[in-house]
Structure 1
Amino acid sequence: MLYKQMKIIIAPDSFKGSLTSMEAGTIIKNAFQKVFPQAAIEVVPMADGGEGTLDTLLFSTKGKRLQKEVKGPLGEPVPVEYGILGDEETVLIEMAKISGLPMVEESKRNPLNTTTYGIGEVILDAINQGYRKFLIGLGGSATNDGGLGMLQALGATFQDEAGKKVPPFGSAVGEVASVDFSTIHPQVKECQFDIASDVENPLCGEIGASAVFGPQKGADEKMVEMLDASLSKYGALIEQHLGKTFQNMKGAGAAGGLGFAFLSIGGTILSGSKLIAEAANLHQDIPHADLIITGEGQSDFQTLYGKIPGYIGQLASENNIPAMLISGSLGDGYEKLYEYFTSCDSIATGPMSIEDCILHAENLLYKKAYNLAKIIHLHSKGD
């Protein structure tokens, strides 16, 4: 095939702290288009279920945005966005945009005072419009309420010892004495909840939601112990009520235990990378490409364990399509990535600090992509 007829798919994750996945993809495309002006180059920005998932997938699938005012992470009314994918049947919810840590000022971050109630409100809004299929990204949460707020918004009843309904905040999780799921909106049972999360932590314990993620949400050591004990009691009550166990399932501790709540209403926690890639139809497009390019802020041996570039590299390998990886930096064990990638490159030019790489990321990425395109062009002339 002549190089000018090449089909190139550019599907990067974001370069954290510097470039969104869309920005990174566009920069790489511009560099390659300059060398291959007649090539068919498609940018498919990617995400892993965390921040940027909504924007990324609505662009990739030509979906649409919907607005709704709901309770934010601190319980106050806030305008939020969610989406409908291009298939016109899948609702896309990015937790970071509804109950996310970036929505809470640093001085106000306290998992005792945050709630997932708004997530439930958005789900009900979509249900009332006739939707039944949901894709939910759990990254970037400000919460540690075990999904108490979301389940209450969906209609579940949680009462304390005095028979009063508990408030929908992290501080109230330990007050729950009785659980009743029979009051949940009946159409919730008709819904499919696919949860995009690469977090495998259980609900409680040393590697549970509170211990691992609580501190970054404002919890001190004493609070972590209290939150963990509360979630354990709360989780046991729900399991006893439903006659099923979820606390120790992989991902139950995602988003402060929201993963557990989704499992309790029939949700399925899946690899965020796989779900997002499939929603963007990459598994259908990659077999028809001549070259795949992906990237991220830093690549190392962990890239192969659930990260977007690793999954894309594996997809490309399965279809015998050459793949190239361009990253902000290459870390420990990156050599293992050569199993799936033809080349692995860092955008750094000589010894550079992380700050300099972030500051000059746009220019550095363009130059690296342009150099790679020139090399491919040289080796394509004889085809």
Structure 2
Amino acid sequence: MANGAGLRAVTTLMRLAGRGVAAKLRPKSTGPAGGPAFEAAISKLLASSTVASEISRTAILTLEANEAGWAAANFSVEPGEEVTVIAAGTLWASKALDMRFGPRLGIWLRAGDNGTIVKTPGEAASLRMAQGGPLFVVAKPPGEWADEHGRFDPAFPRAGITGSLSVCIIVWKSDALRGLEALAHAGDYEGLVARALDQARNPVPTPQGARYLWRLGDGDIYRDVQGEHGRHIHCHTNQDVGILQFPVDVPLTDTVRLVWRWKVDKLPCDLPEDIQPTHDYLSIAVEFDNGQDLTYMWSGSLAEGTIFRCPLPYWDQVETHWVLRSKPEELGRWLAEDRPVKADYARAIGTPPARIVRVWLIAVSVFQRGEGICEYADIELVDGERRVKVV
């Protein structure tokens, strides 16, 4: 690590420690509490006659931070069944730095021993099962997967996380919306039922032509909107993380450029983002056929032109960040960008590969639990007369 970056990291950690002390002196709620209070309240709601008649199967589980593997729900699901997950509690990465995570970050489900993993889009949300089999659940931070079938990557063993999450899983006889309306009529627990009902009534479709990166799971961070000049992608991240991927197949020539417009209204972090505890940011990225990606980001405090390798495990092997914007006076304004991708790759990473295979939108607000809001429009890969429209 260069001397400047090392000094910056120490200064940032000192500022975080100061904020951690302030948080202890002025404690705030960590969100809906798990444990006995959650279990008693949710059990009472589920026992209501109008709710019970809508339920096929249900389970309430406690997921410890140091769980070694998947927990069994002790029942099976069928393809097409609608499942609601309601969860509460806190996982702590560092109490000294006030680094904690709630269930919004990572409640994962898997049907069968070899099913495809799926993450709920929030701490109170519903989904339709695509596969059937015995149901398993785990609380797992993103990025620790070896594959899409839920095997854990031994290179990233979980260590130092404490706390637990309480999770209620409901399999409905018919549809989740009908069941949640009955559940809301029976009562609530710290607003979680209301959130689940709102998500069922107003689901956020994944933007057209894109998919969420499986490693981080689906979410409701991005949505298609129609602006004054056509289609935009609206991004709103709040204590979560998501990468939206658009597949492309474009040769990485000397002249290919990534062009786009964006308007960042709010950044999720006001500290340097080049260490793990503060790595919250908004960006657009290009993925290449060698597995590397180069991401152009807005920074809350790093100088424009700063280039650094991602500080997160796994991602430090594949991702490089380039601070493109950081001036506070430019927040809230539409800005046009035009980047020579091959030249940027050579400067930031090394010998360029052959092709561009995806364009990403990235939003992270996990570590400092802040909020980020931005919009993207007119994303294209341009090479002479050839234009590949992304958004």
TM interval, shorter chain, is under 0.3
| TM-score normalised by length of structure 1 | 0.28
| TM-score normalised by length of structure 2 | 0.27
Structure number with higher helix proportion: 1
Structure number with higher strand proportion: 2
